[in-house]
Structure 1
Amino acid sequence: MNVVVRHQAEALASLGHEVSILTRRSAVDQPAAAQLAPGVTLRFLDAGPAIALPKGQHEHWIADFSSRLGELEPCDIVHSHHWFSGMAALPVARHWGVPHVQSFHSIAADDSTPLSAGERAESPGRMLGEAWLARESDLLVAISAAEAATITGRLGGAAERTAIVLPGVDNTAFSPAGPSSGTPAADDRGYLLVAARLQPLKGLDLAIAALAGVPADLRPNLVIAGAASADYDGYVTELRETAERLGLGAQLRLVGPRSRNDLARLFRDASLVLVPSHSETYGLVALEGAASGVPVIAAASGGLREAVVDGVTGLVLESREPRVWAEAITGLLTDAPRSQRMSVAARKHALDLDWTRSAASLLGVYRRLLGPGTGQIASGSRQHHRAVA
Structure 2
Amino acid sequence: MRISVLSLHTSPVAQPGQGDAGGMNVYVDRSVRALAAAGHRVDVFTADPGGLDGTGAGADTKLEITESITLHHLPVGAATKDELADAIDELAELLTVHPDFCAADLIWTHYWISAEAALRARDIADDNGAKSRDNGTESGDSGADAVAWAGQDRLMQAPIAVSMHTIGAVKNRDSETSHERPQRLDAEEGIAAQADLLVAATPAERRDLVTELHADPDSVVVARPGVDHALYAPDSQSAARERLGFDSDEAIVLYVGRMQFIKGTDVAVDALAELRERNPHLASWTRGILLGAASGAGVEAGGGAAQPSSTYLRELTAAIASEPSVEVRPPVPSHVLVDYYRAADVLIVPSRSESFGLVAAEAAASGLPAIASAVGGLPEIVEHGHSGLLIADHNPHHWATAIETLLTDTKLRAELAGHAVDRAERFDWGHTVAAVLDAVPDISDASARRSEALGAY
Tell whether 2:178 aligns with 1:107: no
Write the distance in 1 (CA, Å) between the matches of 2:196 and 2:170. Answer: 24
Report the RMSD for the aligned CA atoms in angstroms.
Answer: 2.1
Write the distance in 1 (CA, Å) between the matches of 2:317 and 2:171. Answer: 30
Match of 1:287 in 2: 361
Give runs of aligned pairs for residues 165-244 of structure 1, distance below 5 A: 165-178=223-236, 180-183=238-241, 184=244, 186-187=246-247, 188-214=249-275, 215-219=279-283, 220-232=286-298, 233-234=307-308, 235-244=312-321
Match of 1:20 in 2: 43
Give runs of aligned pairs for residues 42-191 of structure 1, distance below 5 A: 42-49=71-78, 51=79, 53=80, 55-73=81-99, 74=102, 75-94=104-123, 95=125, 96-97=155-156, 98-109=158-169, 113=173, 115=175, 121-178=179-236, 180-183=238-241, 184=244, 186-187=246-247, 188-191=249-252
Write the distance in 2 (CA, Å) between the matches of 1:371 and 1:31. Answer: 38
Change (3 A) 1:179 1:100: closer
Match of 2:151 in 1: none
The sequence identity of aligned pairs, in percent, is: 31
- Match of 2:293, SS? coil
Write the distance in 2 (CA, Å) between the matches of 1:173 and 1:236. Answer: 33
* Aligned residue among 369, 379, 386 for 2:442: 369
Deviations 1:203-244 (A, max 9, x none): 011111111222221121111112321524435543231134
What displacement does 1:179 show?
5.9
Comparing both chains, which one has the higher relative contact order based on Cα–Cα distances under 8 Å and sequence gaps of 6 or more? 1
Q: Which runs of 5+ in 2 are unaligned?
A: 1-23, 126-154, 299-306, 446-457
Write the distance in 2 (CA, Å) between the matches of 1:346 and 1:39. Answer: 34
Tell whether 2:373 aligns with 1:299: yes
Write the distance in 2 (CA, Å) between the matches of 1:14 and 1:112. Answer: 38
Deviations 1:237-296 (A, max 9, x none): 432311344xx2x32111122111121111111110000000000111110110110110
Tell whether 2:366 aligns with 1:262: no
Tell whether 2:66 aligns with 1:37: yes
- Match of 2:288, SS? strand
User: Which of the pair has more CA radius of gyration?
Assistant: 2
What displacement does 1:87 show?
0.9
Deviates more, 1:330-339 or 1:276-285: 330-339
Contact 1:185 1:221 in 2 (8 A): no
Match of 2:14 in 1: none
Write the distance in 1 (CA, Å) between the matches of 2:82 and 2:293. Answer: 17
What displacement does 1:38 show?
3.2
| Residue-pair matches, total | 363
Write the distance in 2 (CA, Å) between the matches of 1:312 and 1:56. Answer: 41
Contact 2:271 2:397 in 1 (8 A): yes
Contact 1:228 1:256 in 2 (8 A): no
Greater share of residues in helix: 2
Q: Which runs of 5+ in 1 are unaligned?
A: 373-389
- Match of 2:93, SS? helix
Contact 1:93 1:99 in 2 (8 A): no
What displacement does 1:352 show?
3.0
Change (3 A) 1:338 1:82: same
Contact 1:93 1:100 in 2 (8 A): no
Deviations 1:59-88 (A, max 9, x none): 111111111111112210111111111111
Write the distance in 2 (CA, Å) between the matches of 1:240 and 1:190. Answer: 23
Write the distance in 2 (CA, Å) between the matches of 1:160 and 1:173. Answer: 35
Q: Residue type of the partner of 1:169?
A: V
Q: What TM-score results when the alignment is normalised by the length of structure 1?
A: 0.88
- Match of 1:146, SS? helix
Contact 2:271 2:399 in 1 (8 A): yes
Deviates more, 1:88-97 or 1:56-65: 88-97
Write the distance in 1 (CA, Å) between the matches of 2:61 and 2:320. Answer: 43
Write the distance in 1 (CA, Å) between the matches of 2:331 and 2:208. Answer: 30
